[in-house]
A and B are shown apart, each in its own frame.
Chain A
Amino acid sequence: MRTPERPFLVAAIVLGVLAGPSAGPAGAGDDLEYGVKAVYLVRFAAFVEWPAAARRGADAPVGLCVIGQDPFGPRLDAAARGQRAHGRPLVVRRLAGPAPLDACDIVYVGRGAEPMLREAGDPSGRLIVTDAAASSRRGMIHFVVAEGRVRFHIDLRAASGAGLTISSRLLNLALSVQRR
């Protein structure tokens, strides 16, 4: 069973909500915004390829980890449920305290998680996704809200440094792509 996702509907609503003056970090707008972001996180898994060395096994799931404060709640679990990427299932992991990122392929850096990321050190083999709403630091993919829509910047140089390959189709959709 697939999760009933509605990215476009969500995007449309987000557009309307963010355009309004009552836009705030924790309202109904947040709700929709993070729903979209949750779906995007799941989609990224399909547009990114990991180096073979980073794989922990042929059937090992793609680990989708949220470090720091979790803004998604059950929406991320709903978005990831039943989804696969490159033949591997998606597993959502939430790492509240400092912990090794061994089982993480995609790392969403939530509010207050930068120290954890720094501690983790080498980002090799991991897609680091940051959020303008959580911090100013930019990972390989950086969520922003532009013109009322959830968009993202891509740092291709960092991703390449980590051994990741990002599909050009994803690059085409980025607000900006940092190359070399």
Chain B
Amino acid sequence: MTWLEQLRNSRFPILAISVLLVLLVAGLLISVASERAIREQMAREAGAQADLLASAVSGALAFGDRAAAQDYVDAVQVNPNVLAAAVYDERNRLVASFARPGQDIPAVARPRDHATTLFRDGRLIVVRPVEQGGQRLGTARLRLMDDPPMQRFMRYASLILVLALGALAVGILAVAQTALMRANRELADQAQALRDQIRDREKAEEALRQSQKMEAIGRLTGGIAHDFNNLLMVASSGIELLERTTDPERRRKLSEGVRQAVARGAALTSQLLAFSRQAPMKSAVLDLRGQIEGLRFMLERSLREDIALVIDIPGDLWPVEADAGELELALLNLAINARDAMPEGGTFTLSARNLAGSAETPDAVRLEITDTGVGIPEATLSRVFEPFFTTKEVGRGTGLGLSQVYGFARSSGGSVEVRSQPGAGTTFAITLPRTRKAPPPAPAPSAGASDRESGGAAVRRVLLVEDDDGVADSVGQMLERLGLDHVRAETAPAALALFEADPAFDLVVSDMVMPGGMDGLTLARTLHDRAPTLPILLTTGYSAAAAAAGSEFPLLLKPYRLEDLDQALRTVAAGRGA
């Protein structure tokens, strides 16, 4: 069976083999049928000739006229296929005969009572009885030449030729088909390999972008730590002073200061988290003015106090199409570079203007980032966008910052150029093409006080799932302040058990990342399966967890204030309970 397997695996089209077989069988059948017909015809003709001889020779045989018998026998010679002819009497003794050279005639023949026609040893032998008026007088016998093999071969040569041509055509077609199939397969393999490479490359690029972000954050760390220290200073001193004073007015001012410090810290971390989140590159229509204003806080953190940040962006700036995260990262990279270029302090200017296009060049927006630093030497100016090219000492930079800026500009369909005078500062100019698409609608304003009462379901009892005792305690107090009863569970399984025992909860507030083998998201899904109308609010301080929750459940980011919690609870209750 192995040859069969090989045949199957050879990919030689099975159809071609079938056609060849059919051709072969058909050819054989035709040959056999034709051969048989020709032999029958031969036998018929020989039989007729023998009949003629037997009929003619009867008188001569009956009355012993040898000469007459010989005349009849000799007449048969005109047929060149007759090798020998003989007439035997009733006792099978030879009466008259002729034989071509090499043929022998037995003097006594083998008795044969009936007409006989047989092919033997390439000879056709025909025996016919000689009878007259019912009297048996003897036999007439003919020996004829059967077709020699060469003659037979010639007869079928044309058929063989046609068959061979057919086989050749089928074979060529099959080979061509096989080659085509193989080429197709190779092409498909190559395309798949190419797709794999592209995917790997995209992954690598994605990883590179993320690492570039992380690198920028690392370089921001100093400034952020500085900020946090300031905030903590405000908070700790405020609390300390709160404990030492009883003056209500003073206490109010102190607690207001602490609250503001905490709010700033929260804003800072939320911006960091948003910045570092892993998101696929996605082009969107951007309003540069809004984007850069939103980044002002981060930019300030990345610069030092001795560097002034000037943002000069007109309100009628055309929209562009780019990835918002990449834009932020590019500006941050440029700000950090500027900071390092201005050890003595200076001014960091972000300006933008519209560039009206012409017939050849389309409309564009030019974004200029200028510092008043030491400038870039002529020799290195042409290399600043090369990946891993850095003039900074080891540990201070990876050389990926400006290459990210370059990559951002190119992937957004724009360009970036740099001008610098040593000692007179540097200007990076990013040109982005104008987009005709409409900018996305501004995010809807947060629900006002008038919406708070729109929730249909009244919330009385809350299941609080939180592993951290401190957080649980403070959130518990917040809930009490909002006039809600609450039951706390330390883990998700414990919360499930509580809910099983007593499902009379109006709402669930759960942390997302918890020990105990089940996270908040899984708990929320499980509870949602059991009670689809039960409102669930997830809280977290982890950006990764926040991304995981997605839009599946409402999310409240830590840290949050009482007001935030109140609003979130009302929104959740209204949305789910309605």
B-contacting residues of A (Cβ < 8 Å)? 2, 4-8, 10-11, 36, 40, 42-43, 45-49, 83-87, 149, 167, 169-170, 172-173
Contact = CB atoms under 8 A, between A and B. Distances in A.
13 contacts: A6-B91, A8-B95, A43-B63, A46-B133, A48-B133, A86-B134, A169-B58, A169-B59, A169-B132, A170-B63, A173-B59, A173-B60, A173-B68
Interface string B129-141: 0001111100000
Q: Which of A10, A43, A47, A167 has the most CB of B within 10 A?
A: A43
A104 to B, nearest CB: 18
Interface of B: 56, 58-60, 62-66, 68, 89-91, 93, 95, 132-136
Contact of A173 (B56, B63, B95, B136): B63
A173 B134 contact: no
Chain B CB within 10 Å, residue with most, of A2, A4, A7, A42: A7
B59 A170 contact: yes
Given A43-B62, A84-B135, 6 more contacts: A45-B135, A46-B62, A170-B59, A173-B59, A173-B60, A173-B68
B63 A7 contact: yes
A46 B134 contact: yes
Contact of A47 (B59, B89, B90, B91): B59
Nearest to A10: B64
Given A8-B89, A170-B59, A47 B134 contact: no
A7 B135 CA distance: 15
A85 B58 CA distance: 14
Name the residue in B66, B95, B134 with the highest tally of chain A Cβ atoms < 10 Å from its Cβ. Answer: B134
A169 B55 CA distance: 9
Contacts of A84: 134-135
Q: Which 8 A-B pairs have the closest CB atoms?
A: A46-B133, A169-B59, A46-B135, A46-B132, A43-B62, A7-B64, A11-B64, A8-B64
A169 B56 contact: yes
B63 A87 contact: no
B135 A5 contact: no
Nearest to B56: A169
Given A43-B135, A86-B133, A5 B90 contact: yes
Contacts of A167: 59, 132
B61 to A, nearest CB: 9
A47 B133 contact: yes
Contact of A85 (B60, B66, B91, B134): B134
A11 B136 CA distance: 19
B65 A85 contact: no
A172 B136 CA distance: 19
A11 B68 CA distance: 15
B133 A85 contact: yes
